[in-house]
Amino acid sequence: MVMPPDAGSCNHGSPCEGGNMDLYLDMDQTQEMEQRPSPTLVTFTQLLALSSQELQQAIQQELTENPALELLDRDDHCLRCGEPLVAGICPRCDGLGDEDWEPEGPIRDYDDDFDPLTFTASQMTLEESLMTELHMTLPGEDHFIADYLCGSLDESGFLSTTIEEVAATLGIEVDRVEVVLEALQRMGPLGVGARDVRECLDIQLRRWEELGQAHPLARPIVEQYFQALGEGKYGYIAAQLGVGYAEVVAARDFIRHHLRPFPIPDLVEAEPWRAVNETPFVVPDIVIREREDEPGEFDVEVIESRRFGLRINPLYQRLMTELPKKANVLSPEDREHVSSYVSRARVFLGHINERRRTMKRVAVYVVERQKDFLRHGWRELRPLTRAEVADALDLHESTISRATAEKYVMLPSGEVILFAKFFQAALSVQDALREIISHETEPLTDAQLVQKLAEHGYQVARRTVAKYRNQMRILPSSLR
């Protein structure tokens, strides 16, 4: 059983007593000691729903508006996982503490052959590279169109909007957008800027045709019988085109082996737009640690407390305490100023404290229910709903939704995931599906995959298999 420390207490006393409430922030600590209008204080439910970044903004706003609230900087803990730093380095995040640790990747010897300009260029994302190439080939008045189109590409390289919407947004003619889009589609990887899979294949076919190496039936099949191709109706396609069955199969093999259904190869599967050597830095809200003295059991921590602190300004706290004694010294306006802002700070700190407590309660319950996942991986992720958690903790389901929305969790492995993934039982099915397909000797149809999943204990419909397969960017059996 996970037994975390009391999540409802502050490290330095109750918020209502001026204690610290710890937060991750990066902001100017200057507070103007002047009375100003007091806007409506953000509510607890609003704070609970905020992401880490939004919470920082809300706290920055409160620090700006309330001179009785003070920020405490803590630079002796890792900003990512909250672990104490050793000589300024985090043992958890920087690889120390592992006796066999070696630097990732080759150690570069900066000799005379090293070109810093080439090295800098290699840090470019694909989006930046496309923009640079388009700026070199297009007239200057079209650069803003190129930038907009590049910014409208999704993670697979498809154009996520229509040229009509682009034209309307930019206030230009559709024909002008079409010209720039065609220029973009001529840039590599082939298929970038396509609006769907069919157009992606068509763009690649153009290049093969220019080289004189395309199969003669590939284009008519892609343009006219794309759905039938995906369904494996080769006889139907042959009859419609007036060719032999074997010729259609040969065209299918050409499409299979020479064309990609997605513009961007899976070089960086998680985030294709990110530079290959660029590691995402996600700051978790919650850290799950496996107990050293009790393997297989876990502790949960909401690590805002390890990063930064908030407290009531000591001067305001002292003035608040001495108000009864200084009734004749302070003006009514000064007394109101101190009282209102200190009260407001106490309420705000209380809301932050309640946010932490609620997030921890939810996380502790979820970890207890998903221990097998934490021990053995995605295949062991159990079905879990927010309604179940709400019922177990005697909270409203909307509270659970707010406590988990846009929050990140660091697993014992060091991987950082969205809290919401604990509620996605489909991930275990997808993991099983991916493994089955990776070990198939002959491409399995969706119906056959349903049977294989059933052998692994997963009862899912064929259409569900097709949906999961598409989400994982796996082609149908006829194209694998």
Per-residue pLDDT tens digits for 47-73: 898 888 788 888 888 999 999 999 876
> Tokens standing for 272?
């294709």
Strands of the sheet with 69-73, listed across from one edge: 21-22, 308-312, 69-73
Strand bridging mode 286-290 / 408-410: parallel
Region of poorest pLDDT, from 299-303, 367-371, 433-437: 433-437
* Residues 350 and 311 sit within 8 Å (Cβ to Cβ): no
Q: How far is Cα 143 from Cα 52, in angstroms, rounded to an integer?
A: 35
pLDDT band at 350 (very low <50, low <70, confident <90, very high): very high
Helices of type H across 116-187: 116-121, 126-137, 143-151, 163-170, 174-185
* Residue 323, SS3 per DSSP: helix
- Tokens 């259409």 belong to residue: 463
- The residue-averaged pLDDT of 328-351 equals 88
Which has more confidence, 391 or 100?
391
Q: How far is Cα 381 from Cα 398, in angstroms, rounded to an integer?
A: 23
- The residue-averaged pLDDT of 214-220 equals 93
pLDDT at 243: 94
Q: Is the pLDDT of residue 288 over 90?
A: yes
pLDDT at 96: 36
Helices 314-322 + 332-369 axis angle, to 10: 120
- The residue-averaged pLDDT of 308-314 equals 86
pLDDT band at 42 (very low <50, low <70, confident <90, very high): low
Q: Which residues pair with 73 in a beta bridge?
A: 308
**Whether the model pTM is above 0.85:** no
**Highest mean pLDDT out of 4-8, 97-101, 419-423:** 419-423
pLDDT band at 417 (very low <50, low <70, confident <90, very high): confident
**Could you tell me what percent of the chain has a pLDDT over 90?**
26
pLDDT band at 28 (very low <50, low <70, confident <90, very high): very low
